[in-house]
């Protein structure tokens, strides 16, 4: 790649050229899922076995330090504080409240606003979900339409920011009647939230715990869901170059929307009111007009047509892609993206 002249526009264009390159096998597959977990195969089976974080959970002092770092980096005013009384009443655990505060600084913030405004979810705590492979779900001893949510006890020692993407998914998810379109879009939203966090804190990509690798795997799949030669993420790209280059052929798909997350039935499902706020954030600064109000194929096409760089600027996308080992820009592009290290 030719050296840049040093102007910001040069850095932007160079970064976009890097991001538009055909997806390549990650430099370190140990960042992604490997062995089968709860019946689901890993995307890079030759990677090391996955192990959840062990040891004691993060203490309150470290939580406060990390939370300040992440929220400040994500920018904007967080919509709540970790000691917010309404939040504490519904979420007694400090780490889980920190996960939600981070969520409030992402494009999925409207889901949190609904929770605080007295939405259907009444409590979030650690426990055993009814489906053991879920990161967040309804409790094992509750009916499927219960509105208590548990974060899998398996992940109690994980970094709180790794729980944030799954909370984004579950706060918009309806446990009864969801089909492929709902699960596909909410898994994409999960990946968007994780990419936003990695875009400002790429060091989190170095975490190799089981939950980190699960979230990284959805992030790489979304980053690689695009048209050939294009740097812009698309949910629907039938001619896409492949979402997991060099990964398990049985799990390969041309785009994110092709991944079978659930039974295709029903063809569509109702969306909560907070979806409108999420879509407005994805399209910002442009008005959304008549945005979709349900989970269906039209929602995916709406995203592809209307989402802007506001939720994931090129610099943040490049940082996330480099952190996950998907691209290798030259030193000048690394400098433009704020990714210098000792080798540079």
Structure confidence at residue 4 (pLDDT): 37
Whole-number pLDDT of residue 160: 98
Rounded to 5 degrees, φ, ψ at 24 are -125, 160
- In whole angstroms, give the CA distance from residue 76 to residue 78: 6
CA distance 209 to 175: 27
* Sole residue written with tokens 């309806």: 174
Residue at token pair 């029903």: 266
Domain boundaries, the chain: 7-54+177-344, 58-174
Contact present, 192 and 222 (Cβ < 8 Å): yes
CA–CA dist 332, 344 (Å, integer): 9
DSSP string across 286-335: S---S---EESHHHHHHHHHH--TTSS-HHHHHHHHHHTTS----HHHHH
- Around Cβ 8, how many Cβ atoms within 10 Å? 10
CA dihedral sign of residues 11, 310, 104, 140:
negative
DSSP code of residue 257: G
CB 248 within 8 A of CB 43: yes
β-pairing, 148-152 vs 123-127, is: parallel
What is the per-residue pLDDT for 211?
98
Instruction: Look at residues 124, 128, 203 and name the one whose alpha carbon lies nearest to residue 162.
Output: 203
Q: How far is CA 153 from the centre of its chain?
A: 20
Looking at residue 215, what is its pLDDT?
Answer: 98
Please give the chain's pLDDT, 344 residues, in tens.
333 344 556 899 999 999 999 999 999 999 999 999 998 999 999 999 999 999 899 999 999 999 999 999 999 677 788 998 988 999 999 999 999 999 999 999 999 887 887 777 889 999 999 999 999 999 998 887 778 899 999 999 999 999 999 999 999 988 777 899 999 999 999 999 999 999 999 999 999 999 999 999 999 999 999 999 999 999 999 999 999 999 999 999 999 999 999 988 888 999 999 999 999 999 999 988 888 999 999 999 999 999 999 999 999 999 999 999 999 998 889 889 888 653 43
| Dihedral pair phi/psi, residue 97, rounded to 5° | -65, -40
The pLDDT, as a whole number, for residue 340 is 63
- Total-model pTM: 0.94
- Per-residue pLDDT, 342: 39
The residue behind tokens 């048209």 is 227
């Amino acid at each position: 790649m030719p050296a840049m002249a040093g102007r910001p526009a040069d850095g932007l264009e160079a970064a976009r050229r890097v991001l538009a390159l055909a997806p390549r096998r990650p430099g370190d597959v140990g960042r992604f899922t490997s062995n089968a977990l709860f019946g689901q195969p890993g995307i890079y089976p030759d990677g090391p076995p996955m192990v959840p974080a062990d040891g004691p959970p993060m203490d309150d002092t470290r939580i406060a330090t990390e939370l300040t770092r992440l929220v400040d980096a994500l920018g904007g005013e967080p919509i709540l504080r970790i000691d917010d009384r309404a939040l504490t009443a519904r979420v007694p655990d400090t780490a889980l409240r920190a996960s939600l505060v981070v969520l409030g600084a992402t494009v999925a913030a409207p889901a949190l606003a609904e929770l605080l405004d007295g939405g259907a979810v009444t409590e979030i705590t650690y426990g055993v979900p009814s489906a053991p492979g879920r990161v967040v779900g309804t409790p094992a001893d509750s009916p499927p339409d219960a509105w208590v949510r548990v974060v899998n006890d398996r992940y109690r020692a994980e970094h709180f920011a790794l729980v944030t993407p799954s909370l984004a998914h579950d706060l918009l998810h309806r446990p009864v009647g969801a089909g492929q379109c709902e699960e596909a879009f909410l898994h994409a939203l999960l990946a968007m939230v994780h990419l936003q966090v990695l875009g400002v804190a790429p060091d989190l990509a170095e975490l190799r715990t089981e939950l980190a690798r699960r979230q990284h795997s959805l992030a790489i799949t979304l980053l690689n869901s695009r048209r050939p030669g294009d740097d812009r993420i698309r949910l629907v790209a039938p001619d896409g170059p492949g979402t997991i280059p060099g990964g398990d052929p049985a799990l390969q798909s041309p785009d994110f929307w092709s991944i079978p997350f659930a039974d295709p039935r029903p063809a569509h499902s109702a969306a909560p009111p907070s979806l409108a706020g999420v879509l407005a954030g994805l399209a910002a600064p442009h008005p959304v007009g008549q945005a979709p109000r349900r989970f269906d194929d039209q929602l995916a096409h709406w995203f592809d047509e209307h989402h802007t760089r506001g939720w994931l600027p090129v610099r943040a996308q490049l940082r996330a892609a480099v952190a996950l080992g998907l691209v290798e820009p030259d030193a000048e592009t690394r400098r433009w993206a704020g990714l210098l290290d000792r080798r540079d």
